[in-house]
Amino acid sequence: MPDPESITQIIQDCRRGDAAASEHLIAAAYKELRRLAQSYMRFERPDHTLQPTALVNEAYLRLAGQEPIEWEDRAHFFSVLANQMRHVLVDHARKVRAEKRGGLAVKLSLDEVHGIGEKRDEEILAVDEALARLEKLDPKAARVVELRFFGGLTEEETANVLGISLSALKRDWVFAKSWLFSQLR
């Protein structure tokens, strides 16, 4: 796996307009992105149809279909990809929920259906909805959650991305965790 400095260097090359660097960026960061996806997937239900590789690829494809992003630094790059992975998982959970309500679902008896990962899909959607409510209440606290929990950034990296002090970040993190906990209970 490339060290963080080499990924940072590739991002700096992208910012200087080096077209080849943008192609190297995903390749250089792929193992770390896949590790991040694996950490997401360990919280998923065992019969989940997405695998970490597919999650990384889907997140990247969604970004590739948008306007080019001016990567600020390594932390910004990973936070944007982590956010995309979160959206992939939420969209997947919504699709599964819709299919269970009669979309492309296979007909099974109630005994066969009981508990087939439905709880985890509902949890993903509940967290996403709670995070959306937190974003309306306190956008900075919601961003802290995205970067720390979904982005896997350290406290220092998160404070750096947000341009705030470490103590302010810790206050926002404590507030966001307790607020989300109260909403998800």
Q: What does the DSSP assignment read for 43-96? A: TS-TT-S--HHHHHHHHHHHHHTSPPP---SHHHHHHHHHHHHHHHHHHHHHHH
> Exposed (0-12), middle (13-18) or buried (19+): which is 127, by Cβ within 10 Å?
buried
Under the banding of pLDDT at 50, 70 and 90, the label for residue 170 is: very high
d(CA 6, CA 153): 17
d(CA 134, CA 169): 16
Distances (CA, A) of 92 to 49, 54, 122, 184: 9, 12, 11, 20
On the question of pLDDT at 42 being above 50, the answer is: yes
d(CA 121, CA 126): 9
Q: What mean pLDDT comes out for the span 48-67?
A: 83
Phi, psi of 89 (to 5 degrees): -65, -40
Reduce the secondary structure of 117-145 to three states and give it as a string. CHHHHHHHHHHHHHHHHHHHHCHHHHHHH
Q: What mean pLDDT comes out for the span 170-177?
A: 93
Q: Which of 15-24, 82-91, 171-180 has the highest mean pLDDT?
A: 171-180
DSSP 8-state symbol, 171: H
Whether the model clears a pTM of 0.75, i.e. scores above it, the answer is no
Q: What mean pLDDT comes out for the span 72-95?
A: 84
Q: What mean pLDDT comes out for the span 55-61?
A: 88
Reduce the secondary structure of 1-49 to three states and give it as a string. CCCHHHHHHHHHHHHCCCHHHHHHHHHHHHHHHHHHHHHHHCCCCCCCC
